[in-house]
């Protein structure tokens, strides 16, 4: 059924019914949060063995380094090997960082801003810089480019990745476009997966800016829930065209083990990684090698990681199933909400009737249910159509989702019908 097919009086009657259903939530004293993609307690508890996994003999690494001391700036070889095998990257082109790949992303951005890269002028000395932002996208990425004063250009996302025709046209002629944000597998927030063609075109495309960089944030590389999607290796593709230094590749174990005690990865081409290694000498003596060893002993191999993530999926999948089922059950009008059920990742993204997302989110917050900020998935928090909402079902308990999602559906329908009535010249 479509709300737009109802008469004005039918819409008013339905709106009154929806408000009557909304009122009881005011008295519930809810305090629920469905705003960020956090691991749930059950997922974290899978990894408790990590607290006890090291023995005294583990203090000495395979190369003879005492992991309790300074040194081994770029990561234990056994840890770099594990991620080399998992990600399909050359072991010598990998650096192991601390618990956050986002920290590595910010640092990489800052280094280019301050020092430039591979002989090019530092970004801070260049004028009117721009950055490509696939939308909807990851708000934390957008905050970085906004903080440094970049003009952010919205690039539409499709189910096979960002609009490559638009990207290729823009970067070919404009040297002020310095990079693009990419979450290539189970993208944040839609859960889209980049196709082989998209990966190849990103790897080979001609750019007017010699210092153009692809920030390849492969956060959900093993985070499958239903069907396992294989992502084409952008590094090996870039090798074919001599563009490996264009790639800044990031990953972490934040949603594999513990966000509070993860290990992270940055990788790039030969010249790019050599430059990063040299610059890191100004910043650190080493990252946490004890934690690196802990991860090596616990995760063991790519095969063991994938098996572990199948157990994680068994915990998370029922939450995604429940949200999808409730959206189908509670949304009476098909034209007021659309969504995409992803095969992996941490989010379900939905689109309200145009002009209604902020209103729907305000209504949910008014009764104690926090979701993502309006416009969070767009640069400058400006959703041009005021439609997109990111749902994060991984952290809340099933019982909490059973309260939050029906409420959200009520709010979406209230906001949608109000908007249709306004479009018909009615007071609401």
Mean pLDDT calculated for residue range 351-376: 96
Task: Quote the pLDDT of residue 428.
Answer: 86
Distance, in Å, from the CA atom of 307 to the CA atom of 325, rounded to the nearest integer, reads: 27
Average pLDDT for 389-407: 96
Residues 352 and 271 in one domain: no
Domain holding 387: CATH number? Answer: 3.90.1150.10
> How many Cα atoms occupy the beta-carbon half-sphere of 194 within 13 Å?
28
Q: Is residue 54 part of a domain?
A: no
Summarize the confidence of residues 57-85 as an average pLDDT: 97
Q: Looking at the domain assignment, is residue 28 inside a domain? A: yes
Asked if residue 295 and residue 313 are part of one domain, the reply reads no
Helix (H, G, I), strand (E, B) or coil at 163: coil
DSSP state of 396: S
Q: 79 and 17, same structural domain?
A: no
Domain boundary among 299, 319, 338: 299
Whether residue 288 is found in the same domain as residue 342? no
* H-helix segments, 116-175: 139-147, 164-173
Q: Please tell me whether residues 210 and 331 are part of one structural domain.
A: no
327/192 Cα distance (integer angstroms): 19
Q: 193 and 333 in one domain?
A: no
Q: How far apart (Å, rounded) are the C-alpha atoms in residues 360 and 389? A: 9
Name the residue range of residue 404's domain: 3-44+306-423
Residues 123 and 223 in one domain: yes
428 lies in some domain: no
Same structural domain, 139 and 21: no
Report pLDDT for 351.
98
**For residues 315 and 397, is the Cβ–Cβ distance under 8 A?**
no
Q: Rounded mean pLDDT of 388-413?
A: 96
Sign (positive or negative) of CA dihedral 383, 386, 388, 389? positive
Answer yes or no: is 56 within a domain: no
Can you give the pLDDT at residue 112? 98
Q: What is the CATH number of the domain that holds 275?
A: 3.40.640.10
The residue count for the chain: 428
How far the first Cα of the chain sits from its last, in Å, is: 22
Residue 23: inside a domain? yes
Residues 98 and 237 in one domain: yes
Phi, psi of 158, rounded to the nearest 5 degrees: -115, 175
Residue closest to 107 by CA, chosen among 93, 119, 95: 95
| pLDDT for residue 23 | 95
**HSE-up (13 A, CA, CB side) for residue 256:** 30
In a domain, 29, yes or no: yes
Q: What is the pLDDT of residues 265-308, one digit of tens each?
A: 999 999 999 999 999 999 999 999 999 999 999 999 999 999 99
End residue of a domain, out of 268, 284, 299: 299
Would you call 279 exposed, middle or buried from its count of C-beta atoms within 10 A (0-12, 13-18, 19+)? middle
Tell whether 53 is covered by a domain: no
Q: In what order do the strands lie in the sheet with 388-391?
A: 337-340, 348-352, 388-391
Longest dimension (CA), the chain: 79
The predicted structure's pLDDT at residue 271: 98
Average pLDDT value for residue range 182-189: 97
**Domain check: are 33 and 142 in the same one?**
no
**What's CA 340's distance to the chain center, in Å?**
16
Same domain? 273 vs 361: no
Residues 199 and 232: beta-carbon distance below 8 Å: yes
pLDDT of 221 > 90? The answer is yes
How many distinct structural domains can be found in the chain? 2
Q: Are residues 225 and 355 in the same domain?
A: no
Residues 6+ apart with CB under 8 A from 233: 88, 199
The answer to the question of residue 51 being in a domain is no
- Asked if the peptide bond before residue 136 counts as cis, ω within 30 degrees of 0, the response is yes
**Of 241, 266, 299, which residue constitutes the final position of a domain?**
299
Residue 50: band (very low, low, confident or very high) from pLDDT cuts 50, 70, 90: very high
pTM of the prediction?
0.96
Query: Cα separation of 361 and 348, whole Å?
Result: 15
Q: In this prediction, what percent of the chain has a pLDDT beyond 70?
A: 100
Strand ranges in 320-427 using DSSP code E only, listed in sequence order: 337-340, 348-352, 369-370, 388-391
User: Using one digit for the tens of pLDDT, what is the confidence trace for 133-163?
Assistant: 999 999 999 999 999 999 999 999 999 999 9
Per-residue model confidence as pLDDT tens digits over 251-268 = 999 999 999 999 999 999
Please give the pLDDT value at position 135.
98
- Residue 86, pLDDT > 90, answer yes
User: What are the pLDDT digits (tens) for 90-141?
Assistant: 999 999 999 999 999 999 999 999 999 999 999 999 999 999 999 999 999 9
């Amino acid at each position: 059924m479509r709300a737009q097919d109802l008469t004005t009086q039918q819409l008013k009657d339905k709106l009154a019914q929806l408000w009557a259903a909304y009122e009881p939530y005011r008295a519930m004293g809810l305090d629920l949060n469905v705003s960020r993609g956090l691991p749930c307690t059950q997922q974290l508890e899978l990894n408790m063995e990590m607290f006890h996994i090291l023995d005294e003999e583990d203090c000495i690494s395979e190369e003879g380094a005492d992991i309790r001391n300074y040194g081994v700036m770029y990561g234990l070889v056994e840890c770099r090997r594990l991620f080399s095998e998992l990600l399909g990257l050359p072991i010598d082109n990998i650096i192991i960082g601390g618990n956050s790949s986002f920290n590595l992303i910010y640092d990489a951005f800052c280094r280019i801003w301050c020092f430039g890269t591979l002989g090019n002028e530092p970004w801070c000395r260049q004028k009117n810089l721009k950055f490509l932002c696939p939308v909807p996208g990851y708000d934390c990425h957008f905050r970085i480019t906004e903080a440094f004063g970049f003009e952010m250009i919205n690039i539409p996302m499709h189910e096979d990745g960002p609009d490559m025709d638009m990207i290729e046209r823009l970067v070919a002629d404009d040297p002020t476009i310095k990079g693009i944000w990419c979450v290539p597998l189970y993208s944040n927030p839609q859960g889209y997966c980049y196709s082989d063609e998209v990966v190849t075109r990103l790897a080979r495309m001609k750019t007017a800016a010699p210092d153009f960089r692809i920030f390849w944030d492969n956060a959900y590389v093993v985070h499958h829930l239903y069907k396992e999607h294989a992502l084409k290796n952008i590094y090996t593709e870039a090798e074919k065209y001599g563009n490996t230094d264009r790639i800044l590749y990031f990953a972490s174990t934040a949603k594999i083990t513990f966000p509070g005690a993860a290990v992270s990865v940055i990788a790039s081409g030969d010249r790019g990684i050599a430059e990063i290694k040299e610059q890191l000498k100004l910043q650190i003596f080493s990252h946490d090698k004890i934690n690196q060893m802990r991860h090596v002993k616990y995760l063991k191999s790519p095969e063991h990681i994938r098996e572990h993530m199948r157990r994680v999926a068994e915990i998370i999948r029922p939450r995604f199933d429940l949200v999808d089922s409730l959206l189908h059950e509670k949304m009476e009008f098909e034209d007021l909400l659309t969504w995409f059920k992803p095969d992996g990742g941490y989010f379900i993204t939905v689109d309200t009737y145009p002009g209604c997302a902020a209103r729907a989110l305000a209504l949910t917050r008014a009764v104690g249910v926090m979701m993502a900020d309006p416009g969070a998935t767009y640069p400058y928090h400006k959703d041009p159509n005021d439609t997109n909402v990111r749902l994060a079902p991984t952290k809340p308990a099933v019982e909490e989702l059973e309260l939050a999602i029906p409420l959200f559906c009520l709010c979406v329908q209230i906001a949608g019908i109000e908007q249709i009535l306004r479009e018909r010249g009615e007071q609401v």
